[in-house]
Structure 1
Amino acid sequence: MQTGLQALIFDVDGTLADTERDGHRPAFNAAFAEAGLDWHWSVELYGELLAVTGGKERMRHYLAQYRPEFEVDRQAYADVDALIAHLHRRKTEHYVALLGKGGIPLRSGVLRLLREAHAAGVRLAIATTTTPENVTALLESGPEPGLVDWFEVIAAGDVVREKKPAPDIFELALAQLNLPASACVAIEDSENGVRSALGAGLEALLVTTSCYTETQDFSGATLVVDQLGEPGDPARAARGDLGGAEYVDLGVLRRLHAQVFG
């Protein structure tokens, strides 16, 4: 029976790319404006809203907390749920169009690590609350042809009952990989992601902080870095130890995994 590190399970938004501030946020605002709504999510407000995972859930939270007086136009939409569903569809379309223009690059070190893992036969998976369309669009907009096909499992969107910080999406990814948590390393960027991964037993956990998450609580993470890094663009560890490495490579992840699971 094969032992040791067998798979990497990645979050997407903030982990693979800095999609939140410069991708999802303006896409939401474009959908709001298109629908004739005077809603606008600033960089600061969106940072607060990210405490809620899932785009539709985020809009419901925004209405409850910031627009409690809002009444849906019944001539246009049956109810608030119908409005939110419409806005989320249009937001996804705006976001995919932005990706198609190459507007959101992968973060430092992401493609390098994916290439290294793929070449070494380490299996790749995704566990995210964003939609499958968003995941595919991001990967297909990258510089590596066929990158999306490297991922054996893409667990995304509304395919589970509860979104992060619940463990459901990671548990689904593990089930589809047919692997125990002890065979994997999870790579996240947020406190909600950390709680989700740990809840699924993914104790070998790397956090690569993003602009919106760098001050969050990452208790339980094995290693916390500011980025995966590249030669000449090093990663810096806020928790744990890179073992003298300049950046996060497969060797660092194998050591991280062995540190937790032996």
Structure 2
Amino acid sequence: MSTLKALLFDVDGTLADTERDGHRPAFNMAFEAAGLDWNWDEALYGELLAVTGGKERIRFYLEKFNTDFEKPDNFDDFVKGLHASKTLFYTQLMAEGKIPLRPGVEALINEARAEGMRMAVVTTTTPQNVTALLENTLGPDSESWFEVIAAGDIVPAKKPAPDIYVWALEKMNLTAADAIAFEDSLNGILSSVAADLKTIITINGYTKDDDFSSADLLLDQMGDASNPFTVLAGDAQGHTFLNLDLVKKVHAA
């Protein structure tokens, strides 16, 4: 049996509720700045989350929901420009402290650091977004706590493809048996399970109805001593919040 050597964290929805409170309003701010009358409300954004990646999400919106929009000749540059603008607005929201970490996230990361557990970020969001979240929640040096930042377009096929997890494991010289993933969405767990990783899921408002039957532990949140989690599936082995001891037990099960 392999010993747990690394924690692999998704970002959006897992570390913080960034989709609803960060990315969605940032997209809308970018649309307004570009003179577009598009508005992604919470319900529409939930449907757009079927696709991972910001640029891909804009394309999906135009293909499925705003089919009357006349695409400019330089459509690829148009999408890249919108997405770059959105990233600037997102980092601005982060700097203003608008998006806190979810309950229990900071405690687990700090415990892992204290025990010398290796950590990585494995996400489809851009590296700038990762930096903005980490620095504005955990502190200016916190990005260095993570051995690998696997983010954005570093691999061509984004989640639900396993490629980003495979890339991160290769960079860390680990096998899937050495690590465990933390995810919040169907695309996320499809990616991690396809990479043969055990996976702990913490749902959020957008993903609560996703199929997480392949999760090793399904929770409403990581929780803490004063704010316990609710176990939705799996065995929490007497624990009331997610700490490193429980993570190791899930990995070993």
Give TM-score, length-normalised by structure 2: 0.98
Q: 2-side partners of 1:145 and 1:116: how far apart? A: 18
- 1:69-148 superposed matches below 5 A: 69-73=68-72, 78-148=73-143
Q: 2-side partners of 1:108 and 1:53: how far apart? A: 24
Q: 1-side partners of 2:196 and 2:122: how far apart? A: 14
Q: 1:251 aligns with which of 245, 249, 252?
A: 245
4+ runs of 1 displaced by more than 6 Å?
A: none
Is the counterpart of residue 4 in structure 1 residue 3 in structure 2? yes
Provide, for residues 159-198 of structure 1, a one-character-per-residue CA deviation record: whole Å limited to 9, x for no partner. 1010000001111110111100000010000011000001
Partner of 1:221: 215
- 1:137-216 superposed matches below 5 A: 137-202=132-197, 204-216=198-210
| Unmatched 5+ stretches in structure 2 | none
1:143 shift after superposition: 4.1
2:58 aligned partner, one-letter code: M
Partner of 1:56: 55
Provide, for residues 2-21 of structure 1, a one-character-per-residue CA deviation record: whole Å limited to 9, x for no partner. 94100000000000000000
- Work out the percentage of aligned pairs sharing the same amino acid: 53
Q: How many pairs align?
A: 253
Q: 1-side partners of 2:188 and 2:44: how far apart? A: 20
Provide, for residues 101-153 of structure 1, a one-character-per-residue CA deviation record: whole Å limited to 9, x for no partner. 11100110000000001111110001100000000010000144522111000
Provide, for residues 217-246 of structure 1, a one-character-per-residue CA deviation record: whole Å limited to 9, x for no partner. 012110000000011100111010111111
Partner of 1:43: 42
1:79 shift after superposition: 1.8
CA RMSD of aligned residues (A): 1.1
Is the counterpart of residue 235 in structure 1 residue 229 in structure 2? yes
| Unmatched 5+ stretches in structure 1 | none
User: Secondary structure of the equivalent of 1:158?
Assistant: helix
Q: 2-side partners of 1:91 and 1:224: how far apart? A: 32
Q: 1-side partners of 2:142 and 2:238: how far apart? A: 30
Q: 2-side partners of 1:233 and 1:248: how far apart? A: 11
